[in-house]
């Protein structure tokens, strides 16, 4: 990630229900600012090209790849990172379903699944497949990740009964 010195701006970012003041350059990606300036290292640098999804975060309920978003675009928006989903049902489901091996892609997958369930609490298999194809798991835990999401849906249905 680019770390060369240049003109800086002081901005406020709303992250995980906290307002964080931070100095950024307009060229900084959100991923770089989260990790390097704010110590939120849950979002992972993978391809840095918008392909792998390891850096996914949620902004205003919608999932984005933070490597292809400038931090300055996040000013005034409500950002959630994996650190903001501690003990959430989807995080627990990943643990309970062993939906990871090395774990590097896991934060990105969890953010994507979280956004999916916010927008579509009972997705079809096709919808689930379409959403999950945004993220890559080199350990190929795809089946377990599917099961983790399905378990959250099933648990919600049981709770509603």
Partner 1 sequence: MLSSNIDYYKPMTIKEALELFYFLKAKNKRPIYYAGGTEIITLGRLNLVETDALIDIKELKECQLFEFNESYLISGAVISLTDIEEKNLFPLLSIASMGIADRTARNKITLGGNLCGQIFYREAILPFLLCDSQVVVAGYNGVEAFPIEQIFNQNLQLQDGQILIQLLTEKKYINLPYMSIKKRQQWDTGYPLLTIASIKSDNQLRFAFSGLCPFPFRSKQMEVELNNTNSSIEERIQKAIQFIPGEILDDVEGSKEYRLFVLKNTIEEIMNEMEGR
* Number of other residues whose CB lies within 10 A of the CB of residue 152: 22
Contact 43, 82 (CB under 8 A): yes
User: Hey, which residues between 73 and 92 contact partner 1 (CB under 8 A)?
Assistant: 73
DSSP-assigned beta bridge partners for residue 58 = 63, 80
| Choices 35-43, 67-75, 85-93, 94-102 (CB under 8 A): range interacting with partner 1 | 67-75
- Element housing 65 (H / E): strand 62-65
56 or 151: CB nearest partner 1: 56
- Element housing 56 (H / E): strand 56-59
| Choices 93-101, 130-138, 140-148, 152-160 (CB under 8 A): range interacting with partner 1 | 130-138
DSSP secondary structure letter of residue 35 = I
Instruction: Candidates 36, 96, 98, 133: give the one binding partner 1 (CB under 8 A).
Output: 133
25 lines the binding site for partner 1 (CB under 8 A)? yes
| Choices 3-11, 92-100, 138-146, 151-159 (CB under 8 A): range interacting with partner 1 | 3-11
């Amino acid at each position: 990630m680019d770390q060369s010195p240049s003109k800086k701006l002081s901005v406020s970012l709303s992250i995980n229900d906290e307002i964080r003041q931070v100095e950024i350059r307009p060229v900084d990606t959100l991923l770089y600012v989260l990790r390097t300036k704010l110590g939120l290292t849950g979002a992972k640098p993978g391809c840095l090209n918008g392909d792998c999804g390891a850096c996914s975060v949620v902004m205003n309920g919608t999932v984005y790849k933070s490597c292809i978003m400038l931090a300055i675009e996040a000013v005034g928006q409500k950002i959630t990172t994996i650190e903001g989903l501690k003990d959430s049902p989807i995080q627990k489901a990943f643990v309970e379903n062993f939906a990871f091996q090395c774990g590097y892609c896991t934060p990105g997958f969890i953010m994507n699944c979280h956004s999916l369930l916010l927008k579509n609490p009972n997705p079809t298999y096709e919808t689930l497949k379409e959403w999950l194809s945004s993220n890559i798991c080199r350990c190929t835990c795809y089946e377990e990740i599917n099961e983790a999401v399905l378990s959250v849906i099933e648990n919600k249905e049981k709770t509603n009964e």
